[in-house]
Amino acid sequence: MAHLESPFRIVIVGGGVAGLVASGCLQKLGIDHVVLERHVEVAPALGAGIAMWPHGLRVLHQLGCLDAIKAASVPINRFQCRGADGRLIQDNELYTRVQENHGIGFYPLERRRFLQILYDALPDKSFIKTDANVEAVDQNANGVEVRLSNGDVEVGDMVLGCDGVHSVMRSLMWDYANKTSPGLIRTSEKTSLTTTFKSLLVVTPAIPELGHRDLITTYNKGFTFLATSQPNAVYLFVIFRNDQPFSWPKQEKFTDEDAETLAEIVADKPVTDQILFGEIWKRRIRASVISLEEGVMEHWHHGRIVLAGDAVHKLHPNLALGGNSAIEGVACLINCISQVIQDTKGPKPSGTALNMAFATYQKQQQQRMRELMNLSNLVAKAQTYATPAHKLFANWVLPLLDDRVFADWIGAYVAKATNLGSMPSEGFPSGRLSWSMVPEGEPVKDKKIKHEVGISIAI
Ligand X SMILES: Cc1cc2nc3c(=O)[nH]c(=O)nc-3n(C[C@H](O)[C@H](O)[C@H](O)COP(=O)(O)OP(=O)(O)OC[C@H]3O[C@@H](n4cnc5c(N)ncnc54)[C@H](O)[C@@H]3O)c2cc1C
Min CB(172)–ligand X separation in Å: 9
Give the nearer residue to ligand X in terms of CB position, either 322 or 421.
322
* Interface with ligand X (CB under 6 A), residue from 139, 324, 355, 377: 324
With binding defined as CB under 6 A, does residue 383 bind ligand X? Answer: no
Min CB(251)–ligand X separation in Å: 13
* Near ligand X in 22-61, by CB under 6 A: 36-39, 50-51
Min CB(421)–ligand X separation in Å: 21
Give the nearer residue to ligand X in terms of CB position, either 66 or 356.
66
Give the nearer residue to ligand X in terms of CB position, either 373 or 444.
373
* Near ligand X in 182-201, by CB under 6 A: 199, 201
Whole-angstrom distance, CA of residue 244 vs CA of residue 367: 28
With binding defined as CB under 6 A, does residue 75 bind ligand X? Answer: no
With binding defined as CB under 6 A, does residue 237 bind ligand X? Answer: yes
Whole-angstrom distance, CA of residue 198 vs CA of residue 365: 26
Whole-angstrom distance, CA of residue 393 vs CA of residue 406: 14
Min CB(240)–ligand X separation in Å: 12
Min CB(423)–ligand X separation in Å: 20
With binding defined as CB under 6 A, does residue 321 bind ligand X? Answer: yes
CA-based angle 278:72:379, to the nearest 5? 55
Of 136-144, 276-284, 305-313, 418-426: span binding ligand X (CB under 6 A): 305-313
CA dihedral 55, 234, 226, 165 (to 10 degrees): -60
Min CB(353)–ligand X separation in Å: 25
With binding defined as CB under 6 A, does residue 14 bind ligand X? Answer: yes
Give the nearer residue to ligand X in terms of CB position, either 98 or 356.
98
Helix axes 17-29, 322-343, angle to 10 degrees: 30
Give the nearer residue to ligand X in terms of CB position, either 58 or 348.
58
Quote the DSSP letter at residue 222.
Answer: S
With binding defined as CB under 6 A, does residue 309 bind ligand X? Answer: yes
With binding defined as CB under 6 A, does residue 236 bind ligand X? Answer: no
* Near ligand X in 150-169, by CB under 6 A: 162-164, 168
* Interface with ligand X (CB under 6 A), residue from 19, 54, 349, 351: 19
Burial string for 286-302 (b: 16+ CB within 10 Å, else e) reads ebbbbbbbbbbbbbbbb
Q: Is 219 helix (H, G, I), strand (E, B) or coil?
A: strand
Task: Give strand pairing partners of 158.
Answer: 10
Helix axes 54-62, 94-102, angle to 10 degrees: 40
* Interface with ligand X (CB under 6 A), residue from 12, 17, 118, 271: 17
* Tally of residues, the chain: 459
Whole-angstrom distance, CA of residue 67 vs CA of residue 65: 6
With binding defined as CB under 6 A, does residue 380 bind ligand X? Answer: no
Min CB(310)–ligand X separation in Å: 4
* Interface with ligand X (CB under 6 A), residue from 116, 130, 133, 191: 133
Min CB(309)–ligand X separation in Å: 2
Give the nearer residue to ligand X in terms of CB position, either 130 or 191.
130
Instruction: For strands 128-129 and 32-36, give the pairing.
Output: parallel
Whole-angstrom distance, CA of residue 300 vs CA of residue 173: 9
Give the nearer residue to ligand X in terms of CB position, either 296 or 453.
296
Burial string for 111-146 (b: 16+ CB within 10 Å, else e) reads bbbbbbbbbebbeeeebbeeebebeebebeeebbeb
DSSP string, 118-183: HHHT-S-GGGEE-S--EEEEEE-SS-EEEEETTS-EEEESEEEE---TT-HHHHHHHHHHHHHSTT
With binding defined as CB under 6 A, does residue 415 bind ligand X? Answer: no
Of 67-75, 96-104, 314-322, 351-359: span binding ligand X (CB under 6 A): 314-322
With binding defined as CB under 6 A, does residue 326 bind ligand X? Answer: yes
3-class secondary structure per residue, 343-385? HCCCCCCCHHHHHHHHHHHHHHHHHHHHHHHHHHHHHHHHHCC
Size of the site for ligand X (CB under 6 A): 34
Whole-angstrom distance, CA of residue 79 vs CA of residue 312: 30
Of 188-196, 306-314, 349-357, 372-380: span binding ligand X (CB under 6 A): 306-314
With binding defined as CB under 6 A, does residue 15 bind ligand X? Answer: yes
Maximum distance among all alpha carbons in the chain?
67
As separate numbers, helices (DSSP H) first and strands (DSSP E) second, the chain gives 14, 19
Write out the residues near ligand X by the rule CB under 6 A. Answer: 13-19, 36-39, 50-51, 132-134, 162-164, 168, 199, 201, 237, 290, 309-311, 317, 320-324, 326
